[in-house]
């Protein structure tokens, strides 16, 4: 079945450091890929998404490129801020379904 | 953006009692809502799909008699954990999609989650 594997955290960085959170997936066909973020005390929010191969999703300085050849959707940000501290979830849906399959989540802490 | 409100945010109950968790879409109608469960350091696992006006669809391994789902209106779904036991302690999250199904511009909106502790 479909699955998502993302790097385990926690990840601790200093402000302005470069961030990469790896995400790979297993799915048949062409899933849609998502990154969700959960700030402390809040619900999950969509950060970015990509619906087909080679698409790049971007938002708030974060980027992720849908790589069909490596079945990956790594999240990157060139310069993190303290306010980026949160838990990040990689997820997919497939075949027009609204069912989301999530990775385990990666907790990011950014120190001033 | 659309808002999904989940209540309560946390609850402690005694073993054997039942607990109801509400999930409301505040500014949009949701014919379908989803209930997830999250264990510490684990992924969100889909428990069931709540369908307005019809029975919920449960994922494999989820006891439908234990986790009762009611979706009586287009803005409210409830999850009732019946005869709760300590192993039911977990973080429960609901979500709803805003937008027309099947279109790429639909987006899932999530409630804040409910931390259930059964003692």
Q: Tell me the pLDDT tens digit for each residue of B14-26.
A: 999 999 999 999 9
Give A89's contacts (C-beta < 8 A, 6+ positions apart): A6, A35, A36, A37, A38, A44, A102, A103, A105, A106, B43, B44
Say whether the peptide bond before residue B48 is cis (omega within 30 degrees of 0).
no
- Residues in B touching A98 (Cβ below 8 Å): 32, 34, 97, 101, 106, 108
Look at the alpha carbons of B8, B33, A98, B64 in this order and tell me if their dihedral is positive or negative. positive
More confidently predicted of B58 and B109 = B58
Could you give the CA distance from residue A12 to residue A36 in angstroms, rounded to a whole number? 19
CA atoms within 13 Å, Cβ hemisphere of B119: 4
Q: Which residues of chain A have a pLDDT value below 70? A: none
Could you give the CA distance from residue A2 to residue A20 in angstroms, rounded to a whole number? 23
Look at the alpha carbons of A105, A111, B3, B6 in this order and tell me if their dihedral is positive or negative. positive
Question: What is the reported pLDDT for A58?
Answer: 97
**B43/A100 Cβ within 8 A:** no
- By Cβ distance, the residue of A51, A96, A98 closest to B32 is A98
Could you give the CA distance from residue B62 to residue A88 in angstroms, rounded to a whole number? 26
Answer whether A105 touches B (CB < 8 Å). yes
Average pLDDT, chain B: 89
Which residue in A24, A108, A103 sits closest to A70, CA to CA?
A24
Q: What number of other Cβ atoms are within 10 A of residue B15's Cβ?
A: 11
CA atoms within 13 Å, Cβ hemisphere of B10: 5
**Both tokens of residue A9?**
């955290």
pLDDT grade, residue B1 (50/70/90)? low
Question: What is the reported pLDDT for B31?
Answer: 84
């Amino acid at each position: 079945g479909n699955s998502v594997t993302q790097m385990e955290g926690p990840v601790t960085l200093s402000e302005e450091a470069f961030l990469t959170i790896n995400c790979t997936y297993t799915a048949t066909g062409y899933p849609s890929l998502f990154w969700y973020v959960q700030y402390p005390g809040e619900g999950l929010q969509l950060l970015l998404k990509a619906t087909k191969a080679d698409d790049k999703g971007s938002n708030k300085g974060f980027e992720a490129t849908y790589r069909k050849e490596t079945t990956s959707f790594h999240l990157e940000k060139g310069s993190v801020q303290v306010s980026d501290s949160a838990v990040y979830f990689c997820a997919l849906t497939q075949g027009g379904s609204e069912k989301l399959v999530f990775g385990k989540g990666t907790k990011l802490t950014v120190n001033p | 953006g659309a808002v999904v409100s989940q209540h309560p945010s946390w609850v402690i109950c005694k073993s054997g009692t039942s607990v109801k968790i509400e999930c409301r879409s505040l500014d949009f109608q949701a014919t379908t809502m989803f209930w997830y469960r999250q264990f510490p350091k684990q992924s969100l696992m889909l428990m069931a799909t709540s369908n307005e006006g019809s029975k919920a669809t449960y994922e494999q391994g989820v006891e439908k008699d234990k986790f009762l789902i009611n979706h009586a209106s287009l803005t409210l779904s409830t999850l009732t954990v019946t005869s709760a036991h300590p192993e039911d302690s977990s973080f429960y999250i609901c979500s709803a999609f805003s937008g027309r199904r099947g279109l790429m511009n639909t987006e899932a909106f999530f409630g804040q989650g409910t931390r259930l502790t059964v003692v």
